[in-house]
Amino acid sequence: MTDNAWTRWPSREALGRDGAARSRRLIGWVVRLLVIGMLLWGAYDSTHVHGWGVAGAVAGVLLTAFVAWAFWRATLAHRLLPSIALIAVLVGIAVVGQAADFTTVALVIWCGCAISALERLPLAAALPVTAVSLAAFAAMNDDAWLTTAVTAAGLALAGYTLRLDAEARGNAQRLLAQERAAREAEAESAALAERARIAREIHDVLAHSLSAQLVHLEAARLLIERGADREQILERVVAARGMARDGLAETRQALSALRGDLTPLEDFLTQLVETTADAEVTITGERRGLPAEASQAVRRVAQEALTNVRKHAPGAKVRLRLDYGEHQVTLGVRDSGGSPGELTAAGAGYGLLGMRERAELLGGSLEAGPDEEGFVVTLKVPV
């Protein structure tokens, strides 16, 4: 069957009891008990039934309850042919009951079939069942024709209303399940993003610190190979030790940053240039707090740029400029250039690449290249 309004089943969420309020389930059980009570009362109230006939009538009521339960299960599984067969059995039981002069029992079963068919079956199958059930009800009902017609119309309206209500409940349950799944996916995505951020912080700190140490240790190796005096070699080793100490401090700072304990960006840049010869920093614009990711990006780019200057243009003057714009913060690192250092080939060029990736993750950009004097690194991060 094609999936359209006539052949579409009510959803399993609508047909089932999952997600229904406790009060709603209680009302459902009360209605079922009332229907069974009416059936039993109709069986006992028949004056022509005595002895074993009463037992047979009760057995018929219990059979009706069992078939109704089987019909409920079949519709819940969206099994069309078994559902139609079971409701046909119920209609047949009502016909037998009417023939045996159990009029009240037959009327109750026909009404229940009409309502249940509209509530639980595809409309293409529900309408014929409802029409047959209500026709039998109207034919056997002793009330005035107008009363019977109004009652039949009310039963049909009640069944369709229950169908709409069940579908609304099913849609609400599906939306709730989708919302829960979306929240779980969002939480998982946030956890992965946080792990990636921690990984970047650890990588950037270690890369900067170890790269700086490598510069001095490689210089010490070259000096040893050239037979330099002890003081020059010792100077490089001491510098490497200082870089290791600074790296440890940076690692602690990164851990503090991950906990949200960041020192002001201006103070960080000022301390950074104080440890670098011939470096100065200028800050323009209205100073304000930045998001942690943006602040960390500025710090890491400044560190990487200064490391590159020491590696590729030792002795060059460096000017850092931090500009607070209305919608973005811009960091510019410009050196005055100079002769290539001894350790120009010591790096693999991954530092700025990692910084560029960090900037792009934040929706910003990083540009690096030579200018008229030396080399310029420009970071732009939206805030």
With 0-12 / 13-18 / 19 or more C-beta atoms within 10 angstroms meaning exposed / middle / buried, residue 47 is exposed
CA distances in angstroms from 292 to 60, 110, 239, 263, 299, listed in the order given: 74, 69, 31, 11, 11
> pLDDT at residue 360 above 60?
yes
Pick left, alpha or beta for residue 363 (phi over 0 → left; psi -120 to 50 → alpha; otherwise beta). left
Instruction: Give domain limits for the chain.
Output: 12-142, 264-383
Tell me how far apart the alpha carbons of residues 157 and 148 are, in angstroms, rounded to a whole number. Answer: 14
Enumerate the β-bridge partners of residue 331: 322, 379
pLDDT of residue 321: 92
Q: How far is CA 355 from CA 186, 303, 367, in A?
A: 26, 10, 10
**Residue 190: alpha-carbon gap to chain centroid:** 10
Rounded Cα distance, 42 and 156, in Å: 23
- pLDDT category at 347 given cuts 50, 70, 90 is very low
Name the pLDDT band for 348 (thresholds 50, 70, 90): very low
Q: Is pLDDT at 274 greater than 60 in this prediction?
A: yes
Residue 323 is predicted with a pLDDT of 93
Most trustworthy range by pLDDT among 162-166, 174-178, 246-250, 379-383: 379-383
Portion of the chain with pLDDT greater than 90, in percent:
7
Q: Which of 120-134, 226-240, 334-348 has the lowest mean pLDDT?
A: 334-348
Dmax (CA) for the chain in angstroms is 127
Mean pLDDT score, 256-262: 63
Q: Rg (Cα) of the chain, in Å, rounded?
A: 41
The identity of residue 308, as a single letter, is: N
Q: In this structure, what token pair is assigned to residue 119?
A: 């509530």
Of 354 and 119, the structure prediction assigns the larger pLDDT to 119
This prediction's pTM: 0.47
Q: Please state the rounded mean pLDDT for residues 165-181.
A: 83
- Please check the confidence at residue 43 and state whether its pLDDT lies above 60: no
CB atoms within 10 A of CB 289: 11
Is pLDDT at 238 greater than 90 in this prediction? no
Q: Which CATH architecture has domain 264-383?
A: 2-Layer Sandwich (3.30)
Question: Angle between the 123-140 and 80-99 helix axes, to the nearest 10 degrees?
Answer: 0
Reported confidence tier of residue 54, pLDDT bands at 50, 70, 90: low
In whole angstroms, what is the distance from residue 22 CA to residue 138 CA?
Answer: 35
Which segment of 95-109, 136-150, 183-197, 336-350 scores lowest on mean pLDDT? 336-350
Instruction: Provide the pLDDT for residue 320.
Output: 92
